[in-house]
Structure 1
Amino acid sequence: MEAHVQTLAHAQAALGAQVEVLCINHSAEGEGFSHEFRGRSATREEWDGPVRVTRLGRWASVLRMDVLPDLVPELVRALSRGVDILHVHTPNPTMVLALDALPWLPTVVVTHHSDVIRQRVAGTLFRPFEMLLYTRARRVLATSEAYVGGSSLLRRFRRKVRALPLGVDLAPWLVPSAAALEAEERWRGQGSAPLWVMVGRLVYYKGIFTALEALAKVPGRLLVVGVGPLEREGRMRARELGIEDRVTWAGYLSSEELAGAYRASTALWFPSNARSEAYGLSQVEAMASGRPVLNTAIPHSGVPWVSLHEQTGLTVPVGDAWALAKAAQRLLDEPGLAERLGRTARERAQAEFRHDVMAEHSLSLYAEAQRASSAAQRDTASPRGSP
């Protein structure tokens, strides 16, 4: 979500929009930002190129919700500067509650990145607050049409729902820098081929254990890019499977190092196993790098729509390590298959997932939402029974 917001904000600003971002400060003073941050932080304002960013200080986390004392005052301050569109990205319980508490909001647009899948009790308790915000919203954006059918929340607001696929600045992947090319050579030289790459936070829905079990059935090595609560268990599982020396736990990588890793690889493995994974931007990055994707057929998720079976990669059943291994082996055994899929993947990335196209579409959806707001205001202002 964070990467998407940054990309969208920059692309909208490049088109002439004035964009401000309000987010949570997930770092202590002098430290880098991290999803795993659990401490206290201060509110600070900075500029990310042309985009003003207010990072809200965090005091604590209660039931997975951030305690942000400055949130409501900063929201009021931002709205007082004159805002045409308030674009909210969910799930985000803290922000939803704060917006519900405000008596007036400008035209609201919500991007629904994912349903709450695993935290069923918390999701049920939170649903009325989501419903209130989605009712106030003029447009609700899904990251793909494929996701809408499996979401009871999106179906309830179907007349408001529009699709806005997530886009990526493809330049670093299409035209790699000298540093990326150097990184490619380093990755190629660090072990025997083939190299498989997996990218993402190490959380339950990413399918890390499926990937490890598949690796035990095919040659090569697996580069795991990302950190998360399942890393320790993943390392133990790799040891049990006897593949410990064929797995590299890389943690976070710079964009140059990641671009080099994609280029050095045979394919991206994307074995996610739940609708918490609604899209998968790393699929787009790998595709733009000319690499096929091995993903999973998650029902009512955009994952198998982003990379298409037998066109830009191979799609296998959810949680099936044998099927993932078989798909990987196909890339090794069938002459020209990996090259063909990678070439089509690159073409699809350029045709469907450019960040500037996403930004243009988002601004047209904003205009549509504003027209809906104006029409609703006219209806409210018209005397009952008037033509």
Structure 2
Amino acid sequence: MIHLGKYYPPSPGGIEGHTQSLARAQAALGADVRVVVVNHRARDGHDATFEKWTRTPWAEDADGQVRITRVGRLANVAKLDVAPGLSGLLNDLARNPPDVWHLHAPNITMMLAVLRCRWLAPLVITHHSDIVRQKLLKHFVRPLEVALYRRAARILPTSGSYVDGSDLLQQFANKLTPVPLGMDLSPFQTPSAAARACAERFRERFRGPVWLCVGRLIYYKGLHVALEALKRVPGTLVVIGTGPLGAELNRKAQELGVADRVVWYGHASADELVGAYLASAALWFPSVARSEGFGLVQVEAMAAGCPVINTAVPASGVAWVARHEQESLTVPVSDSAALAAAANRLLTEAGLKDRLVAAARMRAAAEFDWLVMGRRCLAVYGEVAGRV
């Protein structure tokens, strides 16, 4: 099969990480897997994702048994990668087509390219989220989505909960098969010596308790809510991730008087990320919009034994991944006082942390392991293959 993604690691992000995990899992299960994405790296190797006028080159590489084609772009305009060679590549690949094309959406650049290649079939689409905040963009993209989803043999929302709030998905109810996201849990379940050493350095470096946020610095992650909550709890907030709101959030921390207790960690290595979960009192996941359809970093925390505090984003899978009082503590959206109260509960309520962590580890292994996800998707492929 060929996965049509947005970018591919080392580019950070939920869709990117999912694309890698699914491709690796399917390769491990014996499938022939190729990935086509836009190259996020400039010629000097730096991450140019958010740079409007930075060109990136074509690149071919491999991730184990997964073949990767990174298509060069000319620019990034209004979050749209201008990659004129993409359609030609898909046309070339269609001459010797895979059993299944698997598109990861939303992804306007790839959607346009697929629509120009009408013979790409059978098409499976993983619907990661609706376009929520960008109202003008949403109205521009909706006809593209509808046309593309009509062509799909199967559409895979990441949870049944997300369908309830998506008028787009509800138009294609007969094509929906929810498939939860998954990942390789082993680095989190059985941390390496290097990861444990990173955890020790975190504990030594940052005044505890350590509260952790992981993700891009973008609006729907709700990091402003985390900064407000920090005023009501002791300890240090460590933020792993980069993004366009970095300067704005730093100013917010200064205005709130908590800047000396916030660490803008930026990019973390794989061992540093695992170490951060091991050293933290909880993962704070204060997302504020349905653009957050799932929240895979919750699964990382669950597998690592780091308690999760998430938000009840309406018609999103966030609070389904880690459920209130079962595997997490769930608080209302944009409620910094409730987030702080949940954090303080973890510090003071006997047995709460151990109960949540034990249940979270079990749920992660049963529902969100990458091989479980890989088998679920391969079963879908088997059903649609040949039905072009």
How would you bin the TM-score normalised by the shorter chain?
over 0.9
1:111 is paired with a residue of what secondary structure? Answer: strand
- Note closer, same or farther for the CA distance 1:172–1:358 as it changes in structure 2 (3 Å cut): same
Q: Secondary structure at the match of 1:159?
A: helix
Which residue does the alignment assign to 1:267? 282
Partner amino acid, structure 1, of 2:100: I
Compute the TM-score of the two structures, normalised by the length of structure 2. Answer: 0.94
Preserved contact between residue 291 and residue 341 of structure 1 (Cα < 8 Å) = no
After TM superposition, the structure 1 = structure 2 runs for residues 113-152 of structure 1, keeping only pairs within 5 Å, are 113-152=128-167
The answer on whether the counterparts of 1:200 and 1:226 sit within 8 Å (CA) in structure 2 is yes
> Normalization by structure 1: what TM-score?
0.94
Range with greater deviation from structure 2 (54-63 or 288-297): 54-63
2:36 alignment partner, SS class: strand
1:355 aligns with 2:370: yes
Partner residue of 1:229 out of 234, 241, 244: 244
Does structure 1 residue 5 correspond to structure 2 residue 5?
no
1:276 to 291, 300, 306: 291
Structure 1, residues 84-120: CA drift from partner, whole Å, max 9, x if none? 1010011111111111112312200011111010111
Are the counterparts in 1 of residues 298 and 322 from structure 2 also a CA contact under 8 Å?
yes
- One-letter identity of the residue aligned with 1:366: Y
Q: What amino acid does structure 2 have at the position aligned with 1:6?
A: Q
AA in 2 matched with 1:10: R
Q: Give the RMSD, CA atoms, in angstroms.
A: 1.1
The alpha-carbon deviation at position 192 of structure 1 amounts to 2.4
Change beyond 3 A, Cα 1:34–1:8: farther
Moved more, 305-314 or 77-86: 77-86
In the aligned structure 2, how far is the partner of 1:70 from the partner of 1:54? 12
Provide the secondary structure at the position in 2 that maps to 1:250: strand
Deviation of the 1:132 alpha carbon: 1.0
The residue that corresponds to 1:79 in the other structure is: 94
Verify: 1:254 aligned to 2:289, yes or no: no
**Which residue matches 1:308?**
323
Q: Distance in 1 between matches of 2:342 and 2:66?
A: 43
2-structure distance, mates of 1:347, 1:84: 34
Query: Is the contact made by 1:291 and 1:346 (CA closer than 8 Å) also made in structure 2?
Result: no
Residue 122 (structure 2) aligns with: 107
Aligned residue type for 1:80: R
**Alpha-carbon distance in 2 for matches of 1:115, 1:298:** 13
CA distance in 2, matches of 1:21, 1:355: 17
Give the Cα separation in 2 of the matches to 1:37 and 1:24: 14
SS in 2 for 1:162: coil
Whole-Å Cα distance in 1 between the matches of residues 131 and 140 of structure 2? 11
1:275-308, Cα deviation, whole Å (9 max, x unpaired): 0000011100000011110000001100000011
Instruction: Give the C-alpha shift of residue 228 in structure 1.
Output: 0.9
Output the amino acid matched with 1:24.
V
2:185 pairs with 1:170: yes
Q: What is the Cα deviation at residue 73 of structure 1?
A: 1.2
Give the 5 Å matches for 1:304-383. Answer: 304-370=319-385, 373=387
| Matched residue, 1:384 | none
1:43/1:70 contact within 8 Å kept: no
Provide runs of 4+ in structure 1 moved above 4 Å.
Answer: none
SS of the residue corresponding to residue 26 of structure 1 reads coil
State how far apart, in whole Å, the 2-side matches of 1:121 and 1:177 are. Answer: 46
Give the counterpart of 2:259 among 244, 248, 252. 244
For 1:361-382, what per-residue CA distance to the aligned partner results, in whole angstroms no more than 9, with x for missing partners?
Answer: 00001111226x16xxxxxxxx
Greater gyration radius = 1
Shift of 1:129: 1.4
SS of the counterpart of 1:8?
helix
Give secondary structure in 2 for the equivalent of 1:197. strand
Q: Using the TM superposition, give the Cα deviation of residue 313 of structure 1 relative to its aligned residue in structure 2, in angstroms.
A: 1.2
1:196-255 deviation line (CA, Å, top 9, x unaligned):
100000100001110000001111110000011111111111111111111111001011
| Residue 214 of structure 1 pairs with residue 229 of structure 2 | yes
Unaligned runs of 5+ in 2: 1-14
Select 2:63's aligned residue among 48, 52, 58: 48
Counterpart secondary structure, 1:189: helix
Larger CA deviation: 266-275 vs 67-76: 67-76
Which letter does structure 2 place at the counterpart of 1:302?
G
CA offset digits 1:296-334 (Å, max 9, x no partner): 000110000001100111000000000000000111111
| SS across alignment from 2:177 | strand
The corresponding residue for 1:97 is: 112
What is the rounded CA distance, in whole Å, between the counterparts of 1:62 and 1:247 in structure 2?
A: 32
CA 1:34 to 1:226, structure 2 compared with 1: closer, same or farther past 3 Å? farther
Match of 1:383 in 2: none
1:139 and 1:223 map into 2 onto residues whose CA distance is: 40
CA distance in structure 2 between the aligned counterparts of 1:33 and 1:180, rounded to whole angstroms? 24
Secondary structure of 1:310's partner? coil
Check conservation: 1:295, 1:304, Cα contact below 8 A: yes
Gaps of 5+ in 1: 375-387
